Structure 1
Amino acid sequence: MTEGSSDTLDLEALRSFVAVARLGSLAAAAEQRHRTVSALSMQIKRLETRLGTRLLLRGPRGMTPTAAGDTLLGEARELLRHHDGLVARISGRGLSGRVRFGLPEDYASRLVGRLLPDFLAHHPDVVLEAVTATSGDLARRLERGELSLIVALDRPHRLIGGEPLWRTTPVWAGARELALAPDHPLPLALHPVDCPYRHLGVEALEASGRPWHAVFTSTSIHALETAVEAGLAVSILERDRLTPAMRELGEAEGLPPLPACEAQLHYGRRVTAASWPAVEALGELLKQRLGRRE
């Protein structure tokens, strides 16, 4: 390949393609990239001409990648990440901008204790704001543009286009010596209505015809665990959160099986161009550290 070869890809065109694929809209991508829609459209067309294939299709959900576009999307993100990292290392300028990250409280200790400090150590100029909330609340805040990216479970508020991280293992949890009366409503300790585990537990109970009532409701996972350990109520917890004072309940206690959820990574659609490299860097770190968990 000679210098100036027609096979060379334009990095700025790749950035525009990634923005359109992520945002699903030429107008939104143009606003983020500080370009006109026509300029962005021309960049995409030149990229498609260079590669000899269609990369994006317009549909009812906006602009979506073709099969070739999906392949290019992953490779383009990796190429741009390496390019920007190289420029930062040589020039001495690291990532900057503001990253607003949302995550469920149940997983906060794993992320806040290890992953987030590592991210800030590598990118000290990034302003990071991390918040915890239920998955449903996080999804709505992402859609309103209040968050840059979130880790959330795929219910009760389903978002389109999430990148899978791991599968959860919800179980019925009760105190070690708890005895349940099968003819009495099941006493439950629950998160508020936006909680995925509350949603799937109540759904399973109602499908099986098992009556229940909420004895204890709290936004705090630690408060729910205390209520379970004290024998006050049964709750739905991740299996690895069971303590020695708890036991897993199931068919023997007349409780229906619980389906798994999927933890997913979602990016916001209103991230500024200046902050997007930092947002993507945190997203990549999340996928590297969490993507292999089952």
Structure 2
Amino acid sequence: MSEVSAAALDLELLRSFQAAAQLGSLAAAAEQRHRTLGAISMQIKRLESVLDSQLLERGPRGVTLTATGEALLHESRELLRQHDGILARFTGRGLAGRVRLGLPEDYARELLKGLLPEFISRHPDVLLEAVTATSGELARQIQASKLSIAVVLDRPVALTGGRPLWQTNPVWVGARHSRFDPASSLPLAVHDADCPYRQLAVEALEHAKRPWHAVFTSTSIHAMEQAVEAGMAVSVIDRERMTPSMIELGPDDGLPVLPHCQANLHLAQQIDEPSRPAVEALAAMLEERLLDRGPWRWL
């Protein structure tokens, strides 16, 4: 019994399991953990043997979590978080390193209000750099390990291996005082082609055979919102961002229903080992606060 308990608390096994689960690949986990593929595979098998449960389903495209694996992933994150916190407090060594966080601009304002300042306050020795961009650009940067961690919507690039956070609520919006002829070409305010909401809008309009044209294109969500409030255009934004000057539009206005997007948390495959505990701590905090709630309802 004592041997089982000791093996069950082997943090290295849990860290390798977490890497494989998050990345969806033993090979990617081996690269991230600076281990051989064989070593990672043996660690996972040892953990499965200790728990007497299959944790990962192996397939030609990588690995997926079993139900037991899902439960272990959730509990092991909390265990490792507590372990790292205890170690930091009793040894006097806090988290350090550098973390580059990528955020879609639409959600940066809410996250900067409290969550990120709280992380900085808890871990003053961590150099945190937050970067905003479209989800398409964030996807490219996290794939190239130019970011340590990123919140990315599942459009226009569907990355694998992310941790699901929340579903967005995209809606058509226009100015309260403006009306647009359903038979005419729809004037749009949009981001560039890397924006998930632009893709949603264009795909929905083309499927409905509704003509449209861009009258305002910007990298700034605030500028787009001002274009809508001024009555220049219709746009797609998250319902939570609607202002008193906007009105939600829909089928009665000749506009098609929009599907949801999924916001996921992704970690880079290449993370400097000294910075890894800080990256994992930020990931755990983001997941704890945003899971199934989004950035507006975590307080």
Same fold flag (TM > 0.5): yes
Match of 1:7 among 2, 5, 8: 5
Q: Distance in 1 between matches of 2:201 and 2:283?
A: 30
Matching of residues 109-128 of structure 1 within 5 Å: 109-128=109-128
- Corresponding residue for 1:71? 71
Q: Distance in 1 between matches of 2:111 and 2:46?
A: 41
- Change in 2 beyond 3 A, CA 1:38/1:154: closer
* Alignment gaps of 5+ in structure 2: 295-299
Contact 1:142 1:148 in 2 (8 A): yes
- Corresponding residue for 2:234? 234
* Alignment gaps of 5+ in structure 1: none
Q: CA deviation at 1:16?
A: 2.4
- Change in 2 beyond 3 A, CA 1:75/1:222: same
SS, match of residue 93 in structure 1: coil
Q: Distance in 2 between matches of 1:137 and 1:247?
A: 30
- One-letter amino acid of the structure 1 residue matched with residue 201 of structure 2: G
Q: CA deviation at 1:110?
A: 0.6
Q: CA deviation at 1:164?
A: 2.4
SS, match of residue 5 in structure 1: helix
- Change in 2 beyond 3 A, CA 1:63/1:272: farther
Out of 7-16 and 22-31, give the one that drifted further. 22-31
SS, match of residue 142 in structure 1: helix
- One-letter amino acid of the structure 1 residue matched with residue 146 of structure 2: E
Matching of residues 1-294 of structure 1 within 5 Å: 4-8=2-6, 9=8, 10-293=10-293
- Change in 2 beyond 3 A, CA 1:44/1:260: closer
- One-letter amino acid of the structure 1 residue matched with residue 5 of structure 2: D
* TM-superposition CA deviations, 1:200-254 (whole Å, max 9, x none): 1111111111100001100101111111111111111222222222222222321
SS, match of residue 110 in structure 2: helix
- Change in 2 beyond 3 A, CA 1:100/1:183: same
- Change in 2 beyond 3 A, CA 1:256/1:93: same
Q: Distance in 2 between matches of 1:258 and 1:34?
A: 43
SS, match of residue 112 in structure 2: helix
SS, match of residue 219 in structure 2: coil
SS, match of residue 179 in structure 1: coil
- Change in 2 beyond 3 A, CA 1:187/1:123: same
- Change in 2 beyond 3 A, CA 1:163/1:15: closer
- Change in 2 beyond 3 A, CA 1:237/1:29: closer
- Change in 2 beyond 3 A, CA 1:249/1:27: closer
- One-letter amino acid of the structure 2 residue matched with residue 5 of structure 1: E
> For this pair of structures, how many residues does the alignment match?
292
- Change in 2 beyond 3 A, CA 1:232/1:280: same
Q: Distance in 2 between matches of 1:154 and 1:26?
A: 23
Q: Distance in 1 between matches of 2:90 and 2:234?
A: 56
Q: Distance in 1 between matches of 2:237 and 2:135?
A: 15
SS, match of residue 4 in structure 2: coil
What's the C-alpha RMSD, in Å, of the aligned pairs? 2.0
SS, match of residue 198 in structure 1: helix
Contact 1:22 1:269 in 2 (8 A): no
Q: Distance in 2 between matches of 1:191 and 1:22?
A: 30
Normalised TM-score (structure 2):
0.89
Q: CA deviation at 1:36?
A: 4.1
- One-letter amino acid of the structure 1 residue matched with residue 91 of structure 2: S
Out of 121-130 and 152-161, give the one that drifted further. 152-161
Q: CA deviation at 1:31?
A: 4.2
- Change in 2 beyond 3 A, CA 1:21/1:246: closer
| Sequence identity (%) | 62
Q: CA deviation at 1:292?
A: 4.2
* TM-superposition CA deviations, 1:131-173 (whole Å, max 9, x none): 0011111112111111111112221211223322222222211
Contact 1:174 1:249 in 2 (8 A): yes
Q: Distance in 2 between matches of 1:40 and 1:225?
A: 48
Q: CA deviation at 1:25?
A: 4.1
Q: Distance in 2 between matches of 1:39 and 1:165?
A: 31
Q: Distance in 1 between matches of 2:39 and 2:251?
A: 61
- One-letter amino acid of the structure 1 residue matched with residue 112 of structure 2: V
Q: Which has the greater radius of gyration? A: 1
Q: CA deviation at 1:280?
A: 1.5
Normalised TM-score (structure 1):
0.91
